[in-house]
């Protein structure tokens, strides 16, 4: 405990390495059954810890990371369910680590705004929840990444190796996570990143960034199982939702996407020996003015893996570019992809597109796509200016390479001409 207090005292004089201090103090204090601020034990009814009671100032200028640390230690050590409250105000904060394990269920209730500092990030995330089971992040407050200050310097694109700016919200090694009510605005890179999480319920959130903001994926999943993303609005400069390696049993329903790069599985195969992906279902979603629609993407030159049971159903599109895509030549690395894609369904897709090739299946020669079903797809080509139909009045066709495509129901365009 003495070491923890010494680190905390040092934090009063410097902001350097604040995220390291937070993790070390939490581990030391909880292990000793003591808390930064007096060592009192918590008993009784569920407890609320307001960060302003620990020195936070909501003026948008004062770095409040120490107040988050002090409040979190109390919340995490509580033997009864406890809440960390961010009241109304604009609270500036550098890197924050909410580390567990905790003794009971914890809630972080954001009523105001948490704004990121523009520098001082030694790790690839701004706010990290790690090893905290049974956690609920709720709003209606705002997580503001202030990405506009760094986007101009982001030259990552599709580079194989690149150090992205920090993710706004990362959840790692968590069982039973709920996120609701919050808004994430202008993340420096990814808005929300789930890795090694199980049993996740994300609903009624907003994710907002300009269409031109680079690498601002809305929600990205990696090794995430049993995930539900429901009733939310996501408009960014990259994928609205991207489901990556090792993710299984993912449901995305009633999500409005746009602007952005669409609803995606992948990219897959970027790294060696990636885990398989299965049971990814998108239903009853709306896409508006997106650069891509429904997409599966994998890197060339990958090691073997599988992507199976991927369904896109009952999707409304408004002026969408590249509405239906399987792209196994994604990225800049050469060679054939060895991600085996099978049991894919595109059903009940309707609306308007600005691309003449409605369906583009560009599968791998080494592992052709199998069991790709296209059913009841009714798209209208409107040209490059939404709302004005082209002179031809409709669709040109589709492209299919190395794909076993099964046609069903009503489709208003010629599918995969030989």
Residues annotated as part of the active site:
261
Residue 314: its H or E element: strand 305-320
CA 291, CA 94: separation in Å to the nearest integer? Answer: 33
CA 185, CA 180: separation in Å to the nearest integer? Answer: 15
Which are the contacts of 356, defined by CB distance < 8 A and separation ≥ 6?
Answer: 381, 395, 396, 397
Distance of CA 377 to the CA centre of its chain: 28
CA contacts within 13 A on the Cβ side of 179: 29
Tokens of 151: 């986007």
CA 327, CA 342: separation in Å to the nearest integer? Answer: 14
Question: Angle between the 65-77 and 18-31 helix axes, to the nearest 10 degrees?
Answer: 20
The alpha-helical segments, DSSP class H, found in 50-177 are 65-77
Give the chain's radius of gyration (CA, Å).
Answer: 23
DSSP state of 316: E
């Amino acid at each position: 405990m003495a070491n923890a207090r010494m680190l905390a005292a040092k934090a009063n004089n410097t902001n350097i390495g604040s995220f390291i201090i937070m993790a070390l103090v939490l581990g030391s204090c909880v292990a000793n059954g003591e808390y930064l601020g007096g060592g009192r034990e918590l008993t009784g009814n569920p407890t609320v810890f307001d960060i302003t009671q620990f020195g936070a100032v909501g003026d948008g200028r004062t770095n409040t990371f120490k107040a988050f640390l002090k409040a979190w230690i109390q919340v995490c050590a509580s033997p009864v369910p406890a809440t960390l409250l961010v009241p109304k105000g604009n609270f500036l904060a550098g890197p924050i680590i909410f580390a567990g394990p905790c003794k009971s269920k914890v809630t972080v209730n954001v009523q105001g705004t948490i704004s990121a500092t523009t520098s001082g990030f030694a790790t690839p995330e701004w706010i990290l929840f790690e090893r905290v089971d049974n956690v609920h992040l709720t709003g209606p407050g705002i997580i503001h990444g202030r990405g506009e200050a760094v986007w101009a310097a982001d030259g990552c694109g599709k580079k194989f190796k690149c150090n992205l700016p920090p993710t706004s919200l990362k959840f790692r090694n968590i069982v039973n996570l709920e996120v609701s009510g919050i808004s994430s605005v202008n993340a420096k890179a990814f808005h929300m990143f789930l890795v090694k999480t199980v049993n996740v319920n994300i609903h009624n959130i907003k994710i907002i960034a300009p269409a031109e903001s680079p690498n601002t994926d809305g929600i990205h999943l990696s090794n995430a199982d049993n995930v539900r993303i429901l009733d939310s609005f996501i408009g960014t400069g990259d994928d609205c939702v991207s489901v990556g390696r090792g993710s299984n049993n993912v449901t995305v329903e009633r999500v409005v996407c746009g602007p952005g790069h669409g609803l995606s599985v992948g990219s897959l195969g970027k790294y060696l020996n990636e885990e398989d992906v299965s049971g990814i279902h998108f239903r009853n979603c709306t896409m508006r003015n997106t650069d891509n629609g429904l997409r599966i993407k994998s890197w060339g030159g990958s090691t073997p893996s599988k992507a199976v049971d991927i369904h896109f159903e009952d999707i409304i599109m408004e002026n969408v570019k590249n509405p239906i895509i399987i792209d196994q030549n994604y990225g800049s690395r050469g060679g054939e992809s060895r991600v085996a894609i099978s049991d894919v369904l595109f059903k009940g897709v309707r609306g308007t597109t600005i691309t003449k090739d409605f369906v583009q299946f560009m599968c791998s020669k080494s592992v052709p796509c199998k069991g790709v079903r296209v059913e009841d797809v009714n798209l209208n080509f409107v040209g490059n200016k939404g709302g004005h139909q082209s002179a031809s009045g409709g669709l040109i066709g589709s492209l299919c390479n190395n794909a076993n495509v099964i046609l069903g129901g009503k489709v208003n365009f010629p599918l995969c001409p030989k």
